[in-house]
Amino acid sequence: MLKSFFLKGANTAVSRWVVLLIDVSIVLQMFFLSYLIRFNFVLNFENQHFIFQIPVIATVALISFLIVGSYKGTIRHTGIRDAINIFYGVTILLIIMVLIILIHREFGILDRFAPPLSVVIPHFLLNLIVLIASRFVFKGLVSRIVTDYKPSKNILIYGAGDSGMLTYAAIINDLNNNANIVGFIDDDKKKKGKKYNRVKVYSSEQITKEIIEDLNIKEIIVSIHNIKPFVLFEIVDKLIPLPVKVKVVPPVDQWIDGDLNVGQLTEVKIEDLLNRTPIKINNPILQKELDGKVILITGAAGSIGSEIAHQVGNYKYKQLILLDQAESDLYNVQQSFHRKKFKNFAVEVADISNTKRMASIFSNYKIDIIFHAAAYKHVPLMEDNPYEAVRVNVFGTRTVMDLASKNRVEKFVMVSTDKAVNPTNVMGATKRVAEVYANCLNNEGRTKFITTRFGNVLGSNGSVIPLFKKQIAEGGPIQVTHKEITRYFMTISEACSLVLEAGVMGKGGEIYVFDMGESVKIFDLAKKMIHLSGLKYPDDIDIKIIGLRPGEKLYEELLSNEENTVPTYNEKIMIAKVDPVDYKVMKNKIIELSKLDNMDKFEIVTKMKSIVTEYISNNSEYESLDVKVSTEESNQTSSKVRNLH
């Protein structure tokens, strides 16, 4: 009954009236106490007047509390605002009672209802103290009852070292956390079976579904100092099939004032489970390269472009130009720059395929470095809209490149994609065409053209992980195109750091590729995301195979068959060496491709295939073009054989 009253009744409409009645009763008790104080705790005051004054005090108190709404606060969430409302209520009560006293003294009426002023003042102070104190006493009482009645949550801590012990201390010392630590997990054979703080140490092999159910474990907290990503991956990969939530302790440098707060324990994110070591960039030359420069970032409103912009914002550039055609997203980046107090930046809303507009921007700024992130990148959309793909990814990029070369820009760093390697879709082919054009111009002028390639970026617009999260939130199913499809992943921060690094080390003409770690099977990724959401596959959330989308590959590549790599001073970054081409011929072909007005989509794709000979369409209406080319090549070969005979 007591639990039911505090846990349920405290938040209902009925409890508000209960609080109001309790407040009024406290006011009456304090009124009696004020009389006792005034008359030295002797009951020799005028009882008849006192009895008449009680309903007046009760009525005025009731009206005062109704006016300010001091009774409306929830007991468990009592705070300063509630104390202020009580102050307002008892002040109104004081003012009304003083007015009654003044009326009595001035006009000689209301004598029965006018208490002595020497009673009213102490009454005000007592009301203020007791009403506020009672709120916090009730809050503490409810908190204690809630804690006592709340079922304890059994927890295992993975790691019986220093970090595990600190985590143990943080949890048991947190009064708001009703957790019961029933054991440690550690693979150190010397620790197995021992007890630390009277808590048993288990080995990871002992942690089975049966022992989890026997011990009623709800959470496992991974607490290992400076844990490596691949170690975390291995640990969590073992724990995911178990019916528990998995949380991880943040790095020590993120602890608040050197102490671990239980609120900092976070559930493992899918990004932690991609089995790859993040690439670290620490290049002192980068600051020297960017300081004092005028830098243009195209596609600055996109996920990659905006991150590049924010990273560049930390350097001492001369001026930073943020360019994009997406007005709303660009506005958000602008506001972020204002909040971070970045200075000397300009925002330009422009379409990179608008030659006159882009020429005017180059004439307004003496640009030193360009980071080119503007592009269309969604494979299925671009497969249906090759005109737009070529207009932006080829013609738009060519426009910016030509202006960069004409205006003697020092460096042009282009963000490309792994889909440009042996492309099977329009989007990948347009990016490969842009790469080729960059190499064409690199042989002509002063500007150094540099290309960076990487795979899927976590959290970027269109990334599979936020899409899966949304599908899980909607109750599923998660839609996967193929059970065997794999992808490479890296974080936005990493990708953009690498783009900046390429801008420093590039001498012109390079295509940089990065160590993306192991490719990830998307079907397995979907299952892990379901488990991390506290749900079960396929009982709670199912996975539906919907088939490859137009132009989609099963496996992405970072290097084509004709390419090889050479190392750089950073072992995670390599340079792809491509076979030489006739740049003059290629440049003319790309310029011809850019003349889109009189071409249908099949003509556009045909011209791209003549430039990117390794472009073989997959699961696309353009596969017929490859069959035609293959037939023509076969006929030519047969004709040559006949001529030889």
Residue 138 inside a domain? The answer is yes
Element (H, E) at 83: helix 80-107
Closest CA to 306 of 354, 215, 371, 213: 371
- For residue 629, the SS3 value is helix
Low-confidence residues of the chain: pLDDT under 50: 1-14, 253-254, 256-258, 561-562, 634, 637-645
Rounded to 5, what percent of the chain is helix, strand, coil? 50, 15, 35
In this structure, the answer to whether residues 143 and 166 fall within a common structural domain is no
Residue 248 inside a domain? The answer is yes
pLDDT digits (tens, 9 = 90+) for 372-397: 999 998 889 999 999 999 999 999 99
Considering 149, 165, 180, which residue would you say is the last residue of a domain?
Answer: 149
DSSP letters, 578-627, are: -----HHHHHHHHHHHT--TT--HHHHHHHHHHHSTT----SSTTHHHHH
Q: What is the DSSP letter of 515?
A: -
| H-only helix segments in 407-473 | 426-442, 464-473
In this structure, the answer to whether residues 248 and 372 fall within a common structural domain is no
From the candidates 293, 419, 431, 572, give the one annotated as an active-site residue: 419
pLDDT of residue 478: 92
What is the Cα–Cα distance from 568 to 155, expressed in whole angstroms? 46
In this structure, the answer to whether residues 424 and 448 fall within a common structural domain is yes
Number of domains in the chain: 3
The torsion angle over the Cα atoms of residues 196, 200, 205 and 207, rounded to 10 degrees, is: -120
Residue 625 inside a domain? The answer is no
Closest CA to 148 of 3, 11, 1: 3
In this structure, the answer to whether residues 16 and 52 fall within a common structural domain is yes
In this structure, the answer to whether residues 166 and 142 fall within a common structural domain is no
In this structure, the answer to whether residues 143 and 162 fall within a common structural domain is no
Strand partners, 294: 319
pLDDT of residue 166: 82
In this structure, the answer to whether residues 351 and 441 fall within a common structural domain is yes
In this structure, the answer to whether residues 255 and 315 fall within a common structural domain is no
Whether the link from the prior residue into 229 is cis, omega within 30° of 0, is: no
In this structure, the answer to whether residues 451 and 580 fall within a common structural domain is yes
What is the Cα–Cα distance from 56 to 53, expressed in whole angstroms? 5
Considering 118, 149, 180, which residue would you say is the last residue of a domain?
Answer: 149
Whether residue 513 contacts residue 576, with contact meaning beta carbons closer than 8 Å, is answered with yes
pLDDT of residue 411: 95
Residue 181 inside a domain? The answer is yes
In this structure, the answer to whether residues 205 and 108 fall within a common structural domain is no
Residue 17 inside a domain? The answer is yes
Site of tokens 């006293």: 101
What φ, ψ does residue 620 adopt, rounded to 5°?
Answer: -140, 155
Residue 132 inside a domain? The answer is yes
Residue 226 inside a domain? The answer is yes
Which amino acid is located at 77 in the chain?
H
Residue 525 inside a domain? The answer is no
Work out whether the CA dihedral 175, 176, 179, 184 comes out positive or negative: negative
Whether residue 77 contacts residue 21, with contact meaning beta carbons closer than 8 Å, is answered with no
What is the Cα–Cα distance from 264 to 255, expressed in whole angstroms? 8
Element (H, E) at 511: strand 511-514
**Parallel, antiparallel, or unpaired: how do β-strands 486-487 and 448-453 relate?**
unpaired
* CATH number for the domain that contains residue 181: 3.40.50.720
pLDDT of residue 561: 47
Work out whether the CA dihedral 513, 514, 520, 522 comes out positive or negative: negative
User: What global pTM score does this model have?
Assistant: 0.64
Scored b (16 or more CB within 10 A) or e, 516-555 reads: bbebbbbbebbbbbbbbbeeebeeebebeeeebbbbbbee
Average pLDDT taken over every residue of the chain = 82
pLDDT of residue 17: 80
In this structure, the answer to whether residues 346 and 418 fall within a common structural domain is yes
Neighbours of 338 (CB within 10 A): 11
pLDDT digits (tens, 9 = 90+) for 364-376: 999 999 999 999 9
Whether residue 425 contacts residue 384, with contact meaning beta carbons closer than 8 Å, is answered with no
Whether residue 394 contacts residue 376, with contact meaning beta carbons closer than 8 Å, is answered with no
Specify whether 572 is catalytic. Answer: no
In this structure, the answer to whether residues 402 and 436 fall within a common structural domain is yes
Considering 221, 238, 268, which residue would you say is the last residue of a domain?
Answer: 268
| Whole-number CA gyration radius for the chain | 36
What range defines the domain where residue 204 resides?
153-268
